[in-house]
Amino acid sequence: MFVKIERDYDAMSARGAQIVAEVVRQKPNAVLGLATGSTPEGLYRCLIDIARQENLDFSQVTTFNLDEYEGLPAGHPQSYHAFMWEHLFEGLGLREEQTNLLSGIAADLPGECVAFEQKIRAAGGIDIQVLGIGGDGHIAFCEPGSSLAGRTSVVALHPQTIADNARFFDTEDEVPRRALSMGVGTILEARSCLILAKGEGKAQPWAGMIEGPVSSQVPASALQLHPWTIAISDTAAAAQLKNGEYYQHVDRERNDQPVIPPWIVDPDLDPRRQFASRIESVDG
């Protein structure tokens, strides 16, 4: 895991946007995994600015979103469909057919989840997955206790998640109690992950993710097992890291290294694929 500590939210957002932009520069038909919530808003603003300033072409990109509330139609102002069109898709000029979001009102919700997994595989997998972290250590809507090998499914939201998200609704009672969400196992299959955190309220789960044990009680900690996760926070979210100064030292020493893994462009270089091939050759 590459841990990066920026002075503030704006710097964190700009750095994250440059990483996503670099994926698209090197792979114009990249598959982007995207998150919602207040944390990635700054990254999305910066990414739109980069696209406009550099004429960076997003016309071949495909996107997949992490999650969606059960029961909210795409046109609901608090749906994640509405969030993404307001904060990113329209600004990048994406077409609807480029985007993939779970439907919270599908007649067959488990079937919707299976179909979503199939779409990801058909697209060739996700090149970079943007993530935020919840106050209870969740990623997507994979709450504490979620299987670290889980797939996209219908999940029950943790009371803390409901309380945290109440600010987006008129009352807490209006917050849906269930959602459709990528599983941790689905997220870990992305070729790279980019997770963001801002503010002192995320300091404890952020430290647990980076320096704590890998545990289903802090689902984000599963990212320790991923071969290329970039974790960017502001100084407030990094306040409880025991090795913060060391991470900053490493970041400075690696400033001439690539920001994205080579297997985004050449999937055969992915160490997980190479390992699987070696296992198959031994079994054969």
Q: Which positions are catalytic?
A: 67, 136, 138, 143
- Two tokens at 262? 């080579």
- Helix (H, G, I), strand (E, B), or coil: what is residue 273? helix
Contact 44, 75 (CB under 8 A): no
**Residues in contact with 265: Cβ distance below 8 Å, sequence separation at least 6, in sequence order:** 26, 27
Please measure the distance between the N-terminal and C-terminal CA atoms of the chain and give it in whole angstroms.
Answer: 33
How far is Cα 135 from Cα 204, in angstroms, rounded to an integer?
8
CA-based max dimension of the chain: 60
Tokens 């994250």: give the residue. 16
Cβ proximity of 148 and 185 under 8 Å: yes
- Determine the residue type at 108: D
